[in-house]
Amino acid sequence: MDTFGVGSLTDVAGVRVGHHQRTGRGWQTGTTVVFVPGGAVAAVDVRGGGPGTRETDALDARNLVDRIHAICLSGGSAYGLVAADGVMQVLETRGLGVSVGPDAAHVVPVVPAAVIFDLGRGGRFDHRPTAAFGAAAIRRSKASDVARGAVGAGSGARAGGVQGGVGMASTEITLDRGAVTVAALAVVNAAGSAFDPRTAAPWTAAPPKLRKPVAAERALLAQMVVSPKLQPLNTTIGVVVTDAELARPEAGRLAQSAHDGLARALRPAHGLFDGDTIFGLATGRQPLDSGRARALDRIYTAGADVFATACVDAVLTATTVGETLAYRDVCPSAFGAL
C-alpha cells in the first residue's frame, strides 16, 4: 500500500504501534495501541460532543500520574474501552506502570483510551473489541513498517461516506540544539468529509502525485459526501507525539494544536455527534532549554500539520472493507500516477 511519503508515528524514536482487528463473518472492528516502553509525558484534549474515553482525568497536570506507557484506541464505542484492560495486563507483566509498593512488580499501568463508534458495521452489534484485542495489539506493536488504512481501530471507520481508517505522518524540525521529530496517528471516523465534494480532492495536505479524479468519479463522490449512508455517531481520535522534552501542560497544548489540523482536514469537525479526542505525548529525549518559547511554537505548528496529513493519509490508504467503498475505489483515477 502506498504511504505517500508522509512518514509514520514510529519515526519518533522509542514509539511502537500495533493493530488487531476482526473482519468478515459479522465482524468489522479493531484496536490500535501506541506503545512507549520508555514512558512518555501525556495529556489530552477532547473537542467532540460525544466522546468515549478512559483515564483522561489522570492526565490532568494537577494530578499524580506524570508518565504513561501506552494509549489504546479502539472501535466498539464505549464497549470498546475494555480493550484497555488487555493493554494493562501486558504492561503489568512487563513491570510498566505507576509504582505502588516496595516490590518492583507492584505497578498499576495507566492506559488512557478513546473509542470510535462502529457498532453494527459489517454485521452484529455485539461483535466489538474485548480485552483480548488490546492485548494482541500491544503484543504486535513494532517500530517500523506499521500498517495503515482499514486496520486496527480503523477497520470499521467511516469518513463522510467512504471507508475511514488509520493514518500517520511525521516531520522533523531543526532547532538550535538539534532536530526534533513531531508525528501523528489519526483514526478517522468522521461525520465530516476529508474531500471537497466539488473537486473530490482532499481539503488539505494532498500528496503531490494525487491526480484530479475524472468527472464521473467526482460526481459519485459528491453524492456520497452529501448523502452518506451513516449513523450520526462518529469520532476521530488519535495521538500526536514528539521526542522533545515537554511538561504536561505543554503536551496538552500540543494535543490542542493537533485539533486545528483535524479541523483543516475534516469538514465539519468537532460536532455534537463526534467524540474527537487527541492525546499529546512527549518522550523527552530532546531538550529545549535554548529559545524554548520559539521552539514550542514551532512544535505546536508542526503538530497541527502532521495531524492534518495523518487524517488524509487514513482515507487515501484505506481499502474497501464490507459494504462501504474506499476513496481509492470511488476515485481510482486519482491514483493513476502512483
Read off the pLDDT of residues 76-114 as tens digits, 9 standing for 90 and up.
Answer: 999 999 999 999 999 999 999 998 888 888 999 999 999
> 138 with 20: CB under 8 angstroms?
no
Total domains present in the chain: 1
Contact between 240 and 6 under an 8 Å Cβ cutoff? The reply is: no
Q: Is residue 286 part of a domain?
A: yes
Q: How many CB atoms lie within 10 A of CB 216?
A: 10
Whether 210 maps to a domain, the answer reads yes
| Residue 187 and residue 147 in contact, taking contact as beta carbons nearer than 8 Å | no
Q: How far is CA 333 from the centre of its chain?
A: 27
Residue 4: inside a domain, yes or no? no
Determine how β-strand 107-108 pairs with β-strand 68-74: unpaired
The overall pTM is greater than 0.85: yes
- Residue 164 placed within a domain: yes
Torsion of Cα atoms, 195 then 119 then 137 then 236, to 10°: 30
Asked whether residue 1 is assigned to any structural domain, the reply reads no
Domain that holds residue 163: 9-335
Q: Which residues does residue 33 pair with via DSSP β-bridges, in sequence order? A: 18, 72
CATH number, residue 219: 3.60.70.12
Q: Is residue 208 part of a domain?
A: yes
Read off the pLDDT of residues 118-158 as tens digits, 9 standing for 90 and up.
Answer: 999 887 999 999 999 999 999 999 999 999 999 999 999 99
DSSP 102-161: SSTT-EE----EEE---TTTTB-TT----HHHHHHHHHT-BSSS---BSSGGGTT-EETT
2 falls within a domain: no
Mean pLDDT computed over 177-199: 92
